[in-house]
Amino acid sequence: MSIHTAMIIAESNLSLEDKMVWQLQGNHFPPIDEAFIGVAVEAVTLARQQDWDAVLRLPNNLERTVHSVVTTLHLEPFVQTQEEKEDNE
């Protein structure tokens, strides 16, 4: 898993779902099951809304907070909005 690769994927013009496919399937070894793509999209969406404590049901029927999903799947680069990126430049 490369944070640099994740940052490149995050900054691409792909849809959020396609970004999650690349992140989970191509930037993890072993790849994370594609069943987690929807949860990853939902986690990023909620994290962008600062809803870090929302609980998500994973495909394996476990429940985790948005914060836990973002951290575990290394989705941090996808949370920062374009406006925040511009503000930091």
| 53: pLDDT strictly greater than 60 | yes
Does a structural domain hold residue 33? yes
Does a structural domain hold residue 25? yes
27-50 pLDDT, tens per residue? 999 999 999 999 999 999 999 999
Does a structural domain hold residue 43? yes
Does a structural domain hold residue 88? no
Give the confidence band of 52 by pLDDT, cuts at 50, 70, 90: very high
The structural domain count of the chain equals 1
Give the confidence band of 2 by pLDDT, cuts at 50, 70, 90: confident
Does a structural domain hold residue 18? yes
Does a structural domain hold residue 55? yes
Per the structure, the complete domain to which residue 71 belongs is given by 3-80
Does a structural domain hold residue 86? no
DSSP per position, 29-65? SSPPPGGGHHHHHHHHHHHHTT-TT-EEE-TTS-EEE
Give the confidence band of 88 by pLDDT, cuts at 50, 70, 90: low
